[in-house]
């Protein structure tokens, strides 16, 4: 593992507002930079009462302005929702304002329900144009050719690093074919993780932007002073994910000591499986669980994420995780 990074969904906690969530995001980003995180990514979700990062490029700009050295990016932008030129202009502007600090992760899913997808896109194409859209977008970041009929201004010549995101085999195949870095959403969909990484690594074709495979995988983390406290804090995310799975999304719930009383057993089992690529507990417990994940999958980077209702507890969780990940990274470097 060369780097460790952080994925933030700007959670809107029960009893708080979107303004609170965005202020917390900026605060967490500053703390993450001090703690040694390499990247700070934000994700595009729409029509979600508990997520404040819908206008992802705007939030990235705020976070980049509040930090100095950490890479800031999208994990990701859901490309089917947008014209590639618009994304190129947005991220070209960000890269112009914050040179060599902006990343662009691209996803193929709409990141929302179909009614909201129609509201976003207006005209939904029946065919899958994602590979073509990715290549078009990358072209806008290249040096503009003389006489090019369409250019991204700003954007042309910025060479913004493009990542392919995925939770299945499709993204792995595309990232390998295009020679792009690949990030797997194992923090909520771990089922195909190993197979996807194998396909990506075995079929990778070197490109102008990347000479060898580069994998980042995501893992949940919830760390606290004791295992018991961490399990209690994590209950908010489990409750929130269960509500999403059952068609009732809302703000991030307050934690509970009795999940079984609030979530039917079959749903709880599904949620626990979906969130199983994670580390929860005290500093020592989290370090051991992260070590197991790293040893098994050998990622080049680990992207950690976690939803905790109490903001100071969330800051502390990522601080504990950073200390563990520094040790694991340094151990990997000297092994």
Domain co-membership, 110 together with 254:
no
Instruction: Supply the pLDDT for residue 335.
Output: 60
Domain co-membership, 228 together with 123:
no
| Percent of the chain predicted with pLDDT > 70 | 96
Domain co-membership, 140 together with 265:
no
Last residue of a domain, one of 160, 183, 210: 160
What is the DSSP code (8-state) at residue 13?
Answer: B
Which of 31, 38, 71, 68 has the alpha carbon at shortest distance from 329? 38
The Cβ of residue 288 has, within 10 Å, a number of other Cβ atoms equal to 13
What is the DSSP code (8-state) at residue 35?
Answer: H
Domain co-membership, 232 together with 123:
no
Domain co-membership, 233 together with 141:
no
Range of the domain at 70: 1-160
**How many domains is the chain built from?**
2
Instruction: Supply the pLDDT for residue 117.
Output: 72
195-250 pLDDT, tens digit per residue, is 999 999 999 999 998 999 999 999 999 999 999 999 999 999 999 999 999 999 99
Domain co-membership, 130 together with 250:
no
Domain co-membership, 323 together with 231:
yes
Instruction: Supply the pLDDT for residue 148.
Output: 84
Residue 190 in 3-state DSSP? Answer: coil
296-327 pLDDT, tens digit per residue, is 999 999 999 999 999 999 999 999 999 999 99
Instruction: Supply the pLDDT for residue 334.
Output: 66
In a domain, 231, yes or no: yes
Is the pLDDT reported for residue 40 higher than 90?
yes
Which of 100, 4, 118, 7 has the alpha carbon at shortest distance from 56? 7
The two tokens of residue 269 are 């089992």
Domain co-membership, 155 together with 19:
yes
Is the pLDDT reported for residue 282 higher than 70?
yes
58: domain CATH number is 3.20.20.30
Domain co-membership, 148 together with 282:
no
54-68 pLDDT, tens digit per residue, is 999 999 999 999 999
pLDDT band at 174 (very low <50, low <70, confident <90, very high): very high
- pTM here is 0.95
Over residues 71-92, mean pLDDT: 95
Last residue of a domain, one of 141, 160, 179: 160
Upstream peptide bond of 225 is cis (omega within 30 degrees of 0): no
Domain co-membership, 38 together with 141:
yes
Average pLDDT score, the chain: 94
Domain co-membership, 4 together with 91:
yes
Instruction: Supply the pLDDT for residue 26.
Output: 98
In a domain, 211, yes or no: no
In a domain, 107, yes or no: yes
In a domain, 77, yes or no: yes
pLDDT band at 126 (very low <50, low <70, confident <90, very high): low
Domain co-membership, 39 together with 125:
yes
């Amino acid at each position: 593992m060369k780097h460790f990074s952080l994925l933030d969904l700007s959670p809107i906690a029960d009893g708080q507002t979107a303004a609170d969530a965005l202020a917390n995001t900026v605060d967490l980003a500053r703390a993450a930079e001090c703690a040694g995180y390499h990247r700070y990514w934000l994700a595009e979700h729409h029509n979600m009462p508990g997520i404040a990062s819908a206008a992802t490029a705007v939030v990235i700009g705020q976070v980049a302005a509040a930090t100095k050295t950490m890479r800031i990016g999208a994990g990701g932008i859901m490309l089917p929702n947008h014209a590639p030129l618009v994304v190129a202009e947005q991220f070209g502007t960000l890269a112009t304002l914050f040179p060599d600090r902006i990343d662009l992760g691209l996803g193929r899913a709409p990141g929302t329900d179909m009614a909201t997808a129609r509201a976003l896109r207006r005209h939904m194409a029946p065919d899958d144009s994602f590979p073509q859209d990715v290549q078009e977008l990358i072209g806008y970041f290249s040096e503009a050719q003389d006489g090019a009929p369409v250019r991204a201004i700003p954007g042309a010549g910025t060479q913004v690093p493009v990542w392919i995101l995925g939770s299945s085999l499709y993204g792995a195949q595309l990232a390998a074919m295009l020679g792009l870095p690949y990030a797997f959403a194992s923090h909520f969909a771990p089922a195909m993780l190993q197979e996807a990484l194998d396909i990506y690594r075995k079929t990778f074709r070197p490109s102008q932007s990347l000479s060898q495979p580069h994998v980042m995988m995501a893992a949940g983390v919830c760390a606290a002073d004791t295992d018991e406290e961490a399990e209690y804090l994590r209950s908010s995310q489990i409750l929130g994910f269960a509500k999403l799975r059952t068609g009732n999304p809302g703000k991030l719930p307050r934690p509970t000591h009795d999940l079984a009383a609030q979530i039917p057993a079959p749903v709880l089992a599904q949620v626990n499986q979906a969130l199983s690529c994670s580390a929860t507990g005290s500093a020592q417990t989290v370090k051991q669980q992260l070590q197991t994940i790293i040893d098994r999958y050998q990622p080049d980077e680990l992207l950690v994420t976690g939803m905790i209702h109490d903001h100071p507890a969330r800051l502390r969780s990522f601080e504990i995780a950073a200390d563990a990940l520094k040790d694991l990274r340094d151990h990997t470097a000297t092994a």
